Amino acid sequence: MLVMLVMPWAPARAQERRTDAARPLVYRRPLGNEPATLDPARIGDVYGRSVAQQIFDGLVEFDQTLTIVPALAQYWKASRDNLTWTFTLRKGVKFHHGRDVTAEDVVYSLTRLLDPHVKSAAADLFANIQGAQDYREGRAATVRGITALDPSTVRIVLDEAQVPLVSMLAVGHAKIVPRDVVSQKGEAFGAAPVGTGPFRFEHWERGKEIVLTANPAYFDGAPRIGRIVYRIFAGEQMAAMYDEYRRGNLEDSPLPMQDYPNLVKTVRGTHVKRPMFSVRFIGMNTRVKPLTDPRVRQALIYAIDREAVIQEATLGRFVLARGILPPGTLGYNPQLNGYPHDPARARVLLTQAGYPGGRGLPPLTIWASVKLDKEHQAIVRDLDAVGVHAEFKYLTDWPQFSRMLAEGQFPLFQYAWFADVPDPDNFLFKLFHSRSPRNYTGYANPQLDELLIRARNESDGQRRVELYRRAEQLILDDAVVIPFFHYTYERVFQPYVRSVQVSGLGDPYIPFRKIWLEPAR
C-alpha cells in the first residue's frame, strides 16, 4: 500500500532550490481544477481535499498503510460494546492563529458536520452519534453524544456500533477547526482557512494558485519544505502540466494521454504507478425522462464498448470497472460480470421502451468538466450505432459544475469518485443511498437503502460482504451509472524529490510534511 521515492542523485536544477532561512524550499505542484472551498466540512472534490489535507488535522489519520494512527488525539479508548469512545488530546497544539486546541473545538467541529446548514457530505457517517437526529431536525441545540469532559478530553457516545468510529474520524471532512474563527467568518472560512496542520494557508489567487507555508511549530515536527504552491490548470490540462514539469517549473505531474507509451519510456524523474480506491462513471439522472426508464439506461450501457474506450482513449492505463467497488475493497466481487458490449441487446431494450431504432428518443447531453476528445468521441460513436444521438458539453469551472451537479441539472454527467475511507460504504452509501448528498443520480430504492443500513450495522465481516455485494448488484441491475474504470495513480516526480508516500487513497493523502528536496552536490 506504500510507494516511497528514494533516488541516489539529483540534477543541477536542484541547486536553485537550495536555501537559507530567508528563502525556504518551494514545492510546486499542479491542481487540475479550482477548488470550490478549503473548508474541510464542506469539501466535495479531490482538488480542495488535496490542499486542505495539508492545512488541517483530525483526531486521527490514516498512515501510509491505511492504519489508523494518532493525530490531534494522543490516545483513545472504547467501551467493550464500542458505543462510548474517549479521546485525549495532545498538549500544547496550537491553531495557526496562535490559540491552543481544546476539547470544545473538537465538539464544535464534529457537531458542525451534522449541521444541516453546512451540508457536509460526511453528515451520514456520524448520524449514529447519540442525539444527532434530534440536532439535525432542530429539536436540540447540541448533540448530546459529543461532550468535552475537560479541556483535553472528548467523549463520543453512539446509538449503534457500526464501522469503528476511528475509521470515520480519519476521513478528510472530520478535521478540527477553530470555533472562534469559523463562527466569525462563516462560509468565508473556506477561502482563508485556519487549521493546525503542517502547512498554513498563505493566499489564494483565483484561477492561478494557492500557496501554503510551513508551520514551524507543527506538533509532529516542522516540514522540510518551506512552501507549497498549487498551480491551477482548470479542466485537468495534463499536457500543459507535463510541459511545465519538463521545463522544471513543477516538482510533479500526471502523465498526459498523448504519446503515453513513449512518455513512459523517456520520462525524466521517478515514475510512480499504483492502484487507487476510485471509480469513474457516467451518471444518469433517474429523475429526468427518458432516463426514468431503466430499459433506456440499460440500453446505454450495453451500447458502449467500454473496454475498447479504455484501450483507445487511455491506452489501457486503467482497470475496467465491471461494477462500482474497486479491487482491494472489502466486498469487491471478482466474479461480477456487469454489462458486456451488446449493441443488439441495446436495440431490443430501446424497442421495448418505445424507441425502436432510437426513433422518438430525444438527443442526450452528457456534461463533463474535462474535455477528453478520444474517449468522448468513442462514446458518442457507440451510442449513435444503436440510434441514440448524444453530445458532450463542457463546464470547466469546477465549483459551478459541482453546484449544478448537486442541483440535479445534468441529465447525464461524467464523474469520478475517490474514496475517503477504503470501505464499501464510502462508495455504495455515499453515491447511491437515497438521502446521501452525493447521490447525484437521484436514485431512490427502499430495498437498497435497507441493505446499506443493514451492512453499516453488521458486525460479522462475511455477512457484511454479502450485504454489500447484494447492494452493488441491485445498483447494477437498475443501471444507475455506466461504470468505466478504476483509476491507477500515476505521476512523475523530479529526481531530487525525496520521501513521497502514496497510499491507495491517492494524491490528496500524500503527507507533504515528510517530503524533502535534495540539494545539488
Q: Give residue limits of the domains in the chain.
A: 3-32+198-275+491-517, 46-189, 278-486
Where does 131-199 have alpha helices with state H?
132-136, 165-169, 179-185
Burial class (CB in 10 A: 0-12, 13-18, 19+), 184: exposed
pLDDT (0 to 100) of residue 57: 98
pLDDT (0 to 100) of residue 7: 35
Distance CA 472, CA 428 (A): 7
| Low pLDDT (below 70) residues in the chain | 1-24, 162-163, 520-521
Contact of 149 with 13, CB cutoff 8 Å: no
Distance CA 36, CA 369 (A): 13
pLDDT digit string (tens) for 279-307?
A: 999 999 999 999 999 999 999 999 999 99
State the DSSP H helix or E strand holding residue 402, giving kind and residue range, or none if neither.
helix 398-406
Question: The pTM is what?
Answer: 0.77
pLDDT (0 to 100) of residue 312: 85
Neighbours of 188 (CB within 10 A): 12
Topology agreement, domain 3-32+198-275+491-517 and domain 278-486: no
Return the exposure string of 133-144: e unless at least 16 CB atoms fall within 10 Å of the residue's CB, then b: eebeeeeeeebe
- Let me know how many helices (H) and strands (E) the chain has, helices first: 15, 23
What is the CB-side half-sphere exposure of residue 359 using CA atoms within 13 A?
3
Q: Tell the CATH topology of 46-189.
A: Dipeptide-binding Protein; domain 1 (3.90.76)
Q: What is the CATH number of domain 278-486?
A: 3.10.105.10
Distance CA 344, CA 322 (A): 19
Q: What is the CATH number of domain 3-32+198-275+491-517?
A: 3.40.190.10
Distance CA 459, CA 231 (A): 44
What is the CB-side half-sphere exposure of residue 1 using CA atoms within 13 A?
16
Give 284's strand partners: 412
What is the CB-side half-sphere exposure of residue 413 using CA atoms within 13 A?
24
pLDDT (0 to 100) of residue 521: 60
Contact of 213 with 222, CB cutoff 8 Å: no
